[in-house]
Every structure is written in C-alpha cells, then in structure tokens.
A and B are shown apart, each in its own frame.
Chain A
Amino acid sequence: MNLNPVHVIETKGLSKTYPGTAALVDVNYKVQRGKVNVLIGENGAGKSTLMKLLAGAEVASAGEIWIDDKRVHITDVRSAERHGIGIIFQELNLFPEMTVAENIYAGNELTSSGVIRSKAENHQAKILLERLQIPIDPRTRLGNLYVGQQQLVEIAKALSKHIKVLIMDEPTSALSKTEVEILFKIIRQLKEQGVTVIYISHRLEEIMAIGDCITVLRNGRLVAEDEIANVDIPWIIEAMVGSSKKRFAFAQHALGDEVLKVTDLALKRSNGIYAVDHVSFSVCAGEVVGIYGLMGAGRTELLEALLGAQPLAIGQIELAGKRIERHNIPQRIDAGIALVPEDRQKQGMVQLMTILENMTLSSLGKFVRRFAFGALGRAKQVDAANDVIKRLAIKASSVDAPITSLSGGNMQKVVIGKALLTSPKVLLMDEPTRGIDVGAKEDVYKTISLLAQSGIAVVYATSELDEAMAVSNRVFVMASGKLTAIMGRAEFDSERIVRASTPATAVV
C-alpha cells in the first residue's frame, strides 16, 4: 500500500449544523501521521464537534472524511474504531467497580463459547500495560486507582482496539504534575510506536512541550495551522481570540458600597487538592465581575461555596458588612445571595413545572396570602412573573406554559428571574450563556448590565474570554483554584488573561 506519507486523516469541507447554530463550517483539517497534532480553540469553537465527527459520536451535515487517502463513512463509534480512530473523552467512561482488565475489555470481552475468559483478559491486559510501561496490575479494582492512573487505563483501553489515531480531549485537566509527566512519557512512546495523537488542550505551556503541529479553530472555522516549532504563545492566543473583538454595549455607571467581601475562602476536593485555594476579593454594589478560568479552575466551586452549597468550604464571607456563618442555602438566599447554576437543566429548573411555578420557587414565602390558611396568592404570583417577563424580555406565550416549551435563552432568563424574585444583593451566575445561541447571549449580557445598573452586584463565571470582558467592570482569573489575576476594565488584556488562566504544570 502506498500511503500518503504526511496525512493520516484529511477532512474536506466538513460541516456540522445543529438547529439554529453552525458548529463547524467547511473545515479542511489535516492530521499528520505519527505526530502529536494539537487542536486548540475557545469553548464553542468547534473542537469537540470536530472530534465527535471523527470518532463517530456525531454524523457530519456535509463534507468528507478521508483516511489513508480513502474516503470513509464514519457512522458510529464502532465504525470509527474499524478505521483505527479511538477517542478518550474528557470525562472518563469507566466502571469503578470493575477491575482494570475488565474495564479495558468492557464491550469487547474476550470470550470462548459465550463465556468470558478472565485469565486471557488479565494476561492480554498485562502485556498491553507493560508495552505502555504503565505499572498497574490488571486485576486491581479501578475505583482504587488515582484519576491519573484511570486516565492511563482509558488509553490502554483505546489501544486494545488496535487504533492508529488516538484523540485525547483535555487529558490533563484532572491530573497532577507527576501524572502529567507520566502521560507525556506515554504519548512519546505511542509516537515511537507509530500512533498518531490528536491532542486537545487549553494549557499553552503543555502544548508547546508535547505538540508537533497545531491547528486553531475559531467560531467553527479552521483559522490557522502550523508547526509548533514555528509558533509562540502570543501567536496561539491571537489566533484563538482573533483580532476583531466583539464589542458589547458597556454602560459605565457609578458603583455603590462594598457589598460582598470574601477572605481566605478555601475548599478541598476529596483527593486533597484545593478546588478553591484561599481566595480573597470584594465586590461593590452595581459592579459586574467576570470570573474567567478553564474547566476545573474552581469557578463553580467558588460560586457554590458563596451560596452555601459546599459545606466543607472554610473562610470568611461578609455580605453588606455582616458575617455569614452557616452553610445554609435558604439563609444565604434570605441574606441576599442568589445563584444561577451552571447546568440549567439539572440544577436550574424543574422541568415538570410551568414558567410561573419555576420563577416563584425560591421566593414562595412572599406570595402567601394573608388570612388564607397559608395559601399562595395566584394574582400576586402572576404579577411578579409578568413583571420579570417584561423586565428581562422573556418570550413566552403565557406564565402557565411549561418551562420546557421555551428556548434555551428564555429558559435561562426564567432561572435568572427566579433568582431576582429573591431580591438579591449579589447575583452569582455560573456560565450564564452556556448552550444558548449567539443572539440570546447578547440578551443575557444586556440583562446583566441592566441588573447592575439597578444596584445588584453580579459575579459571573465564564470560560469564554470575550464573555469575561463583555460587560464586566473587572475580570478575575482563576487557575487551579487560585485567583491569579484581577484587572479593571482599563487594563483588560486578552493575552494576560489567558496566561493567568493557564495552570502551572511541569514542562517535561
């Protein structure tokens, strides 16, 4: 066979459209054989979509995929595996109660006449792990391993299927320094053995250390590709963020007194690493703060700790000059803190309920009628809901429509409305525009500005640089649980923010 010596995978005009959004537009992506191909881009740039198309988790709307100079049709994960493509997702897909060997062969069991050959599995797994120089006994229960070791088991699992291209989606986001070193050693070994690696990461230093070539996506398009040797970190950031920055209407207004003061807030994860590492800051009434950070930087944990949803958090929180002691969500809501959680579907709304019922859920006490045996007043609730609908420009046919009948952006506004009805002094928002389309995003930013003008302090977490700077007075940058930078609007600087968000890791 006469293989294309340079490219193992080539896509031609690859596109993927979801209802309402184009996730990937006309991408001609080339994967270099036997190299570590870095893929980088902001959240929503289309990295994951591209990888899902290659790994068969999604099917392209248009375009072609060529492997070894042959056009292929990848329809599902199995067919991707047949073509030699394996993927390790960011979240591990393993079974903690099974052994390492059982995990490696899950779904692909070695059997003879329908019976699993455990011995053969253990033996084969041992050979595989030895080849990768992973020092793990295949009979160990997976749950007993560290996350880093589990990641290595995922790699072994992918390689047990004789793949030639291994896609790794942010493999180091949960790893410690030493674990990253081991991972890099194994990636280098894979390269020597002729395996091609596609490596997705946000960690710039890491990319410079392990990558051979780099491809940058922005807004679903391929915007740059080069050899790592030819580029530097400012080049990468420039390509990722683009020179034409989006501008949002930012209206400067006078800020009030300090309303939230956090001193030495800390929260340990179960593995002993700090999710929030002694963070201190303060926020004024009417101020908007964008917290920028990568996934796992501790943003969600910080916001949840402020709401009182993290009982193990320590440190001091002062709200309008008053110390808050107990970890008790209802009390903190009463005191004036509200959270719009990250996962709207899972944490923000009750799907079985109507718009009205969802909106009033945090403030039911306000709507109890007098002299009515504790019954809720319907008129009061409708008035309040309609008021919020008008204030936030929610598009809804009626307050009694099921919340699931709304679009993502409008659902989000209902969740924001629920928080507003508690009359918060501080409104926390975790990824407020996650999973909503561009038009609705602008709407959410407008809402944030509006709320700030009415004197509410808004603190929102985001993993999009544009968004962090969009409507904020200040940007906080978090990395590995630490607050690594605080800058005012005058000193906003994409490169500095991205650098501050990159966790320090061992560069091997």
Chain B
Amino acid sequence: MTTPHSANSSVQSLPAKPDRAAAYWASRVTVGILKLRIFIALFAIVIVFSLATDNFLSTGNMLIMAKHVTIVAILSIGMTLVILTGGIDLSVGSIVGISGMAAGYLLLEGVKIGHHIVFFNPFGVVVIACVLGALIGAINGYLITMLNVAPFIATLGMLYVVRGAALLVNNGSTYADLEGNVALGNTGFEFIGNGTILGLSMPVWILIVLAAITIFVARKTPLGRRIYAIGGNEQAARFSGIRTNRVKLFVYMFSGFCAAIVGLVITAQLQTAHPLTGQTFELNAIAAVVLGGTALAGGRGTVFGSVVGACVISILGDGMVMCGISDFWQMVIKGLVIIFAVVIDQLQQRLQSRMVSLTA
C-alpha cells in the first residue's frame, strides 16, 4: 500500500502554504544552479588560472591544452554510454596502448600475407586499429552479457590482458619514426594527430564529430533511449522487450572504439608508439564522466556533461602545472574536486526529491 508516492503525499499536511511555495522555489533555484555546476566550475577554473598565470590564454597554451582535453574527452564519450547502462570500462587505457602499438606495427613491419609483406596506407591502419579496439570491447561485452562477469572484474581483467599484449607486440619496445615510407605508400599517418582543417587540429575535429554523433544517438534514437532504460532499470527494460545484451555489447564496443581513436591520435602526435601509453587514462575518463553529472549507478547523465567534465579535469591539471603547484598537491586537489562533485550531485538529488514532495 505504501508506494513512494503515497509516502510523499504525507508531506502535504505539513507547512503552511506560503512557506511551501517559498521552500519550493528556493529548492528549484538551487537545483537550477547545481545543474549548471560543471559549467560554473569550468568558467571559474579558466578565470582563476588566467589571472594567476601570464600566458594561460595564449594561443600556444590553448593548443597544448586542447590536445590534453581531446584525449580525456574522447575516452569519456565512450565511457559515458557504458556508465549510463550501469557498467564501467577499466580497459580503455590499455586499449589506447595496444591501438598505438598496432598502428606502429602495421606502419613499420607490415603484415605478412603468403610470401608478401603488405603495408596498409594510413587510412587502412586507422580502420584496422579501430576494429581492434571495438573487438576488445566486444570481448568485454561478451564476458559481461553472456558469461555474467561483473563489468568491474571483466574490464579489470582486460586491463591487464590488453596491456600485456601491447607490451608483447614489440617485446616491450617502442615503434619510433612512424612517418612512413613514400615507396610503400604509407606516409601521412601524422595527419590524424597533427594535421589541421580550417585552423582546427584533427583531434579537435574528431572530438567534435564524435561528440555530436554520440549526443545525437543518446538523445534522439531508440538505441540511446534503451541505453538509459537499461541503466535506469534493467529488469523493466528486459520485460519491455529491449535486447539488453545487444545494447550492452554495443556500448563496450563503442568504448573500445573511442579508446582506439585516442591511441591513434597520441601515436600520430608523437610519431612514436609506446606500449605503456594510456596508463591510468581510464581513471581520468571516469572522473570526467562523474564530474559531468552522470550517475555511476546508470540511467542518468549526458554525453555533453562528460565532455565539459573532461575539459575541467584536464584544464585543472594543466593550470596547476603552470602555477607551479607540486605534483603531490595536484593529486590531492584533483581527488577533492571529484569527491566534491559527487557530494554536490547527491545534494541536488535530495533537493529534487524534496521539490517533488513539495509539489505533491
């Protein structure tokens, strides 16, 4: 008999009318401000650092910061969909590493087919690395849906497996000098990391396109609706006829794909593939998603929020470096910011349910 609703309606008899209206509007305004918190945070960080340092807003610094932002942001896009379903993907950092190594291998060593060694052009290299990332994501998804392994465990396992595989590719060594060979027709890989179109660098373009598509999918398509539904209530989603396994498989594949892109971008920027690239990236990506207001339990959050969250977390890092704050303090501050964000989120949830009870 006691549905949550009827429990709420007992509040009805409490305060006198004007108080209730005032309390309602106070909550509503506060919630409004809290919802914008990530933008306020971004704005505040930019102001503080541009005042505290001389060249924070200089073009050169902006370019460097954009590089860092794109890496975290692209990972956080894939991570958002995973977290929206109520899962987690800890393997993305390792996928970053193996995707770069795969590119290095394909560019420098080629693939032996029969007696020939085939070298793919950069486009082919990118496609193959992305497919590899998606395949690793598919393994995650298979473990989680078909074999019922908890997402945390499945992707933690893959974090090690994939990192190990990345180290095995070239026996722990890097692939350097990836500019390619004109004779082999595989020059130009650098473009994906350092090239520019209309004054914007390629990684920024990739971020914009990827974010736009993902936001569209999440907000406008059945797939997006189903992702939210699974995180909101998986059982209800199943009874509604949603192919929950298929949707989950997709989000892990997509997350792997995003990670592979990041691996390619970094490798192209440095012209070197290093097997340890991407270590702990998964933590930054998760932090960006959480900062962006996505609930770790799933069902609630936005892709756009995560992108802004990625800006906050990486600009905060860069700014602190420029201010000469020690590494140790940087870690403390970063951690506090993440915890603070979640505390505020809880506050917002509580205020919102209070608002509902005041209107009941």
Contact = CB atoms under 8 A, between A and B. Distances in A.
Interface stretch (B69-77, B140-148, B239-247, B255-263): B239-247
A23 interface: yes
Contacts of A435: 1, 3
Nearest to A339: B239
Contacts of B240: 361-362, 418
A11 B216 CA distance: 62
Question: Which residue of A347, A350, A402, A418 has the most chain B CB atoms within 10 A of its CB atom?
Answer: A350
A353 B228 contact: yes
Contacts of B241: 329-330, 332-334, 362, 422
A435 B221 CA distance: 34
Nearest to A374: B221
A316 interface: no
Interface stretch (B4-12, B124-132, B185-193, B336-344): B4-12
Interface stretch (A199-207, A233-241, A404-412): A404-412
Given A352-B299, A408-B6, A375 B221 contact: yes
B250 to A, nearest CB: 14
B237 interface: yes
Contacts of A402: 356
A351 to B, nearest CB: 7
Contact of B237 (A334, A361, A367): A361
A20 B239 contact: no
Interface in A326-374: 329-330, 332-334, 339, 341, 345-353, 357, 360-362, 364-365, 367-368, 373-374
A307 interface: yes
A350 B228 contact: yes
Question: Which residue of B232, B235, B236, B237 has the most chain A CB atoms within 10 A of its CB atom?
Answer: B236
B226 to A, nearest CB: 7
Contacts of B238: 309, 329
Contacts of B360: 405
B5 A376 contact: no
Nearest to B217: A374
B236 A346 contact: yes
B4 A407 contact: no
Contact of B2 (A18, A332, A352, A405): A18
Nearest to A308: B241
A447 B114 CA distance: 70
A19 interface: yes
A435 B359 CA distance: 22
A52 to B, nearest CB: 11
Contact of B216 (A329, A332, A334, A375): A375
A329 B246 CA distance: 13
Interface of A is mostly: mixed
B135 to A, nearest CB: 24
B354 interface: no
Contacts of B221: 368, 373-376
B243 A350 contact: no
Contacts of A373: 216, 221
Contact of A307 (B225, B226, B239): B239
A294 to B, nearest CB: 20
Interface residues of A, number: 47
Contacts of A375: 216, 220-221
A349 B233 CA distance: 7
B5 A404 contact: yes
Contacts of A332: 241
Contacts of B359: 405
A140 interface: no
A21 interface: yes
Nearest to B232: A350
Interface of B is mostly: helix
A361 B242 contact: yes
Interface string B198-241: 00000000000000000010001111011011001101111111
B243 A330 contact: yes
A373 B359 CA distance: 39
Question: Which residue of A19, A333, A341, A407 has the most chain B CB atoms within 10 A of its CB atom?
Answer: A19
B300 interface: yes
Contacts of A368: 221-222
B226 A21 contact: no
A209 B5 CA distance: 42
Contact of A351 (B10, B223, B232, B237): B232
A59 to B, nearest CB: 13
A402 B357 CA distance: 13
B233 to A, nearest CB: 5
Contacts of A437: 1
Given A361-B242, A362-B241, A375-B221, A407 B5 contact: yes
B353 to A, nearest CB: 9
Interface in B72-106: none
Contact of B239 (A341, A367, A404): A341
A404 to B, nearest CB: 7
Nearest to A422: B241
B85 to A, nearest CB: 12
Contact of A376 (B220, B228, B236, B299): B220
A339 to B, nearest CB: 6
Interface in A436-471: 436-437
A408 B3 contact: yes
7 nearest CB pairs, A to B = A364-B222, A350-B232, A333-B241, A375-B220, A362-B240, A352-B232, A408-B3
16 contacts: A330-B241, A330-B242, A330-B243, A334-B241, A339-B239, A348-B239, A350-B237, A351-B232, A357-B225, A364-B225, A367-B222, A404-B4, A406-B5, A407-B3, A418-B240, A437-B1
Interface of A: 18-21, 23, 307, 309, 329-330, 332-334, 339, 341, 345-353, 357, 360-362, 364-365, 367-368, 373-376, 402, 404-408, 411, 418, 422, 435-437
